Amino acid sequence: MDIDNLLQFLTDLKANNNREWFAENKARYDQVRLQFEQMCKELITGISAFDEEIKHVEVKDCVFRIYRDTRFSNDKTPYKTHFGVYIASDGGRKSKRAGYYLHLDPTGCFIGSGVWCPDPVVLKALRQSVYDNIDELNEIRTSTEFSQYYGAFFEEDKLKTVPRGFPKDFPDAELLKLKHYLVEYSLDDTVLHAPDFVSRVTAIAKCAYPFNRFLNYTVDEVVGSR
């Protein structure tokens, strides 16, 4: 896939985020969208090799639309200026399960794994699982495979204090304050322009598989298995 071509389209779209420009460049958008979807198909195949729950996931269920929902937003620009795909079983981009997210954006590209913005019931259960199984989680996140790509968890919206029901002196109390159980790895030019881009992204995603498996054990208990 020509990443530069895709990122250039998004750069131009950001500078011309209106329906008139988009209509004039629709053929260009269709070209990069098809390229992105083909890449996502290859990525799904690659991830399926180590996470068998991804085997029957379809691209159309995973790729996010470029059209923004502006009904409740002060930002009325009609289009997103990035491409995103969330590869997860039981619904793709609509799944509540932990999965693999790829974000391509001229301002920064990254791959993420885990659960973003779980509903309150799932979040409470995940916090309880972290508390009850902290040794297992710490073994995962300090492993050589995981830690070579993923560091601190995503801390946006993090609570200032330990949530009610948990001891304040818990050694890993910071993990209980999280609103998202998510990790990210920024993709630099050496990855973005590699001829084996999909293989490299797949390898990075593979290192997060034990983390996703840990989270999904709890998610499935709460929302039901597939």
Supply the pLDDT for residue 69: 85
The length of the chain in residues reads 226
Supply the pLDDT for residue 70: 79
> pLDDT for 36-92, tens place per residue?
999 999 999 999 999 999 999 999 999 999 999 877 778 889 999 999 999 999 999
Whether 123 has a pLDDT exceeding 70, the answer reads yes
Whether 144 has a pLDDT exceeding 90, the answer reads yes
Strand locations in 88-134, DSSP E? 99-104, 109-115
% residues pLDDT > 70 (the chain): 99
State the Cα torsion 144-150-151-157 to the nearest 10°: -150
What pTM did the predictor assign?
0.94
How far is 35 from 39, CA to CA, in rounded Å? 6
Contact indicator for 66, 79 with CB cutoff of 8 Å? yes
Return the bridge partners of 181, or none. Answer: 115
How far is 81 from 8, CA to CA, in rounded Å? 11
Q: At what angle do helices 3-15 and 26-48 cross, to 10 degrees?
A: 130
Q: How far is CA 219 from CA 23, 30, 114, 200, 225, in A?
A: 41, 36, 11, 28, 8
Q: Which domains does the chain show, CATH number per domain? A: 3-223 (3.30.930)
Supply the pLDDT for residue 73: 79
Q: Which two tokens stand for residue 43?
A: 């990525």
Q: Where are the alpha helices (DSSP H) in the chain?
A: 3-15, 19-24, 26-48, 59-62, 120-132, 134-141, 144-147, 173-176, 189-192, 197-206, 209-223
Supply the pLDDT for residue 190: 94
- Residue with token string 């990254």: 110
Select the more confidently predicted residue: 127 or 1: 127
Supply the pLDDT for residue 226: 44
How far is 97 from 82, CA to CA, in rounded Å? 23
Whether 154 has a pLDDT exceeding 60, the answer reads yes
Average pLDDT score over residue span 181-192: 96
